[in-house]
Amino acid sequence: MAREGALWMGDLADYMDENFIIAAFRALGEENVQNVKVMKNRYTGHPAGYCFVNFSSDQAALTAMHKLNGKVIPHSQPPVRFKLNHSSTRGNNTDKEYSLWVGDLTPDVDDFALYKTFGSRYNSIKTAKVIYDPNGQSKGFAFVRFYSEDEYKDALTHMNGFKGLGQKPLKVSYAVPKKQHYPGMNHMGDYNTGLEERRCTGDAKDTSKEDFEPVEWNVPIDVDKANAEYIERSEELWQAIEKARWTFWEEAKEDE
């Protein structure tokens, strides 16, 4: 259960016990860790690969998360990077969040620098996360999440072109969840045009991946072009449905 002032920490090796984790945080200057609870598999008793790190306050937990996320854990062999997530009750699942995409980031910008820059101007910042490739190199963009819609809209306008974070002016845009595409759905994502039932399976959600994509909000819309594309997609969908319907009857007649 989520608690105030707690961080979730994942990708733990079996040798990483409570003392090792506390020492790793303190080696990087985080003295506010109160205790660590390494979770175990209830059936085997072996470490489950994650833990909860409890801090003296929720703000201390948030600060540690943004300072250490993605950095190498001291004395880990082979080297493993911190994988942290906010586990407090602040902003539970019933609270709506608003996400911004922030681009044109130079390699010197990390989570903590991004968090400080936005947090010094807006009080409703939940997280600021720079996206890295598997080698730990910044991809040059990040996502910032807000609790307040008003602050989110203000940042969209006033942080676009902001200078003072990294070596380039910031580029800011809306961020929306990426569309999920499943077998049996056509490119419109609304209809299953196949005749056989398909089962969709998915892996557990990996919060380290890019769950959002930017939307250019200030680009003029070509209405005529958009309407033409919509009509074309609608015709393709109708043709697919008709083809599937007649294929079904042809197969049914052959079985008689």
CATH number at residue 144: 3.30.70.330
Domain boundary among 59, 90, 121: 90
- Number of separate domains in the chain: 3
Tokens of 100: 């911004």
Question: Closest Cα to residue 206, out of 115, 119, 134?
Answer: 134
pLDDT at 105 over 80: yes
Tokens of 153: 């809209």
Q: For residue range 183-233, what is the model confidence (pLDDT) as tens digits?
A: 333 333 333 333 333 333 333 334 444 566 665 555 555 666 666 666 666
Which residue range forms the structural domain that includes residue 204?
96-219
Tokens of 158: 């006033």
Is the same domain home to 7 and 83? Answer: yes
Is the same domain home to 200 and 226? Answer: no
* Torsion sign (Cα): 91, 89, 121, 25: negative
Is the same domain home to 36 and 85? Answer: yes
Domain boundary among 61, 90, 119: 90
Is the same domain home to 163 and 66? Answer: no
Instruction: Yes or no: say if 107 and 138 are a contact pair by the CB < 8 Å rule.
Output: yes
Is the same domain home to 209 and 111? Answer: yes
Instruction: Yes or no: say if 172 and 155 are a contact pair by the CB < 8 Å rule.
Output: yes
Higher pLDDT, 95 or 245: 95
Is the same domain home to 36 and 107? Answer: no
Is the same domain home to 192 and 229? Answer: no
Distance CA 123, CA 136 (A): 29
Q: For residue range 23-62, what is the model confidence (pLDDT) as tens digits?
A: 999 999 999 999 999 998 888 888 899 999 999 988 899 8
Question: Closest Cα to residue 37, out of 8, 61, 14, 57?
Answer: 8
Is the same domain home to 185 and 110? Answer: yes
Please tell me the least confidently modeled range out of 117-131, 163-177, 222-236. 222-236
Cut 0.75: pTM above it: no
Is the same domain home to 129 and 214? Answer: yes
Is the same domain home to 151 and 213? Answer: yes
Distance CA 1, CA 125 (A): 22
Domain boundary among 44, 62, 90: 90
Distance CA 133, CA 150 (A): 32
Is the same domain home to 188 and 111? Answer: yes
DSSP 220: P
**38 strand-pairing partners:** 51
Is the same domain home to 245 and 211? Answer: no
